[in-house]
Amino acid sequence: MRLILLGPPGAGKGTQAQRLIHKHDIVQLSTGEMLRAAVAAQTPVGLRAKDIMASGGLVPDEIVIGIISDRLDQPDMKNGFILDGFPRTVPQAEALDDLLRKKHIRLDAVIELRVNESALLSRVETRVAEMRARGEEVRIDDTPEVLSKRLASYRSLTEPLIHYYSERRKLLTVDGMMTIEHVTREINRILAAIGAVETQATPRKPAKMAARKTSRPVGKAAKVAKKASKKPAKTARKAGKATSGRTRKAARASAKGSGKRPARQGGKAAKKVTKKRAKA
Ligand code: AMP
């Protein structure tokens, strides 16, 4: 399973990533964590990143893309991974697409944790208080001032990725304001619905219905996703008219085999059949 977790700082990406890696035996790739380790070890990358990170800015693309590229080549990636904190900008997403294509790796989904911004500050304050209580070192970028800078950077540079992945039909939005337990359950439910994980006891719903129900985006993303989801369907219908019956049959068979929803094809004819069935 190969996923990207998307969401502003404090949305719970780290917490959910931890739960997912244990459940599905995959690896978390957090660029923030890797950079913090490099800073602590005072490597050349760490020395370059240190001040940028402390001020809440973004580390240059070539550094983070290099880190991710090297990491994807490691043997522990074989079961899959969760990218947390990367990509953070459209150019980084494009670079990732390139990397994945070259390495023949397929991305299953991008999970957006949608949260209410005003709740983020208090979440971070709670996290800092808990870390202090456990005697852990608190991140130097976990202050209200730096957090507002990180939030502004998320809004202008990272939020466009919602559109980017929605257009590519990879985006699944989960309400990140629910309890940690609920968010985890919802993520696992939608992953099962899109066929990214094996479900055990639960009977499998038809992928079409389940995916629609669970990948429900909220607010502005809903409009974007709706618009984006219409476009490929239209193209598929056009393609359906152009392809021969034999090709369509083969496409349906292969979609069935892969457990994926076959693209709707043969528009009008399909509608007539549905109407007849409805009457019957
Ligand atoms: P995070 O732990 O994801 O909040 O990241 C902490 C800090 O690391 C960020 O504020 C950035 O300075 C840096 N960082 C992490 N990931 C990236 C990235 N993909 N691109 C640029 N900078 C990053």
Give per-residue pLDDT as tens, 254-277.
Answer: 444 444 443 333 344 444 545 555
Which residues have CB under 6 Å of ligand 1?
Answer: 9, 31-32, 35, 52-53, 56-59, 64, 85-86, 88, 92, 141, 150
Secondary structure letter of residue 209 according to DSSP: H
Angle at 64 between CA 62 and CA 70, to 5 degrees: 95
Helix (H) / strand (E) element for 81: namely: strand 81-84
169 or 205: which carries more pLDDT confidence?
Answer: 169
Query: Does some domain include residue 254?
Result: no
Query: Does some domain include residue 221?
Result: no
Query: Does some domain include residue 125?
Result: yes
Catalytic residue among 36, 50, 114, 150: 150
Evaluate if residue 24 carries a pLDDT over 60: yes
- The pLDDT assigned to 247 comes to 40
Query: Does some domain include residue 20?
Result: yes
39 Cβ neighbours under 8 A, 6+ residues apart: 46, 47, 49, 50, 53
Residue 132 designated active-site: no
Tell me which residue has tokens 């996290």: 127
> Could you report the per-residue pLDDT of 170-201, keeping only the tens digit for each?
999 999 999 999 999 999 999 999 887 755 54
Q: Residue 217 — very low, low, confident or very high, per pLDDT cuts 50/70/90?
A: very low
Ligand 1 atom, smallest distance to 150 CA: 10
Q: Residue 278 — very low, low, confident or very high, per pLDDT cuts 50/70/90?
A: low
Ligand 1 atom, smallest distance to 13 CA: 3
104 Cβ neighbours under 8 A, 6+ residues apart: none
Catalytic residue among 71, 127, 205, 260: 127
- The pLDDT assigned to 142 comes to 78
Closest to 66 in 3D by CA, of 110, 96, 111, 107: 96
Angle between helices 44-55 and 61-72 (to 10 degrees): 120
Q: Residue 81's domain is classified under what CATH number?
A: 3.40.50.300
238: left (phi over 0), alpha (psi -120 to 50) or beta: alpha
Query: Does some domain include residue 193?
Result: yes
- How many domains, in total, are found in the chain? 1
Ligand 1 atom, smallest distance to 33 CA: 2
Query: Does some domain include residue 28?
Result: yes
Closest to 141 in 3D by CA, of 149, 153, 130, 133: 149
> Could you report the per-residue pLDDT of 49-96, keeping only the tens digit for each?
999 999 889 999 999 999 999 999 999 998 899 999 999 999 999 999
Q: How far is the CA of 263 from the centre of ligand 1 (A)?
A: 37
Query: Does some domain include residue 229?
Result: no
- The pLDDT assigned to 143 comes to 80
Closest to 109 in 3D by CA, of 203, 10, 211: 211
Q: Are 82 and 4 in contact (CB under 8 A)?
A: yes
104 or 243: which carries more pLDDT confidence?
Answer: 104
Range of the domain at 37: 2-204
13 Cβ neighbours under 8 A, 6+ residues apart: 5, 6, 7, 84, 85, 113
- The pLDDT assigned to 250 comes to 44
Minimum CA distance residue for ligand 1 atom 10: 56
- The pLDDT assigned to 129 comes to 85
Query: Does some domain include residue 214?
Result: no
pTM of this structure: 0.70
Lay out the sheet containing 171-175: strands in order across: 27-30, 81-84, 2-6, 109-114, 171-175
Q: Residue length, the chain?
A: 280
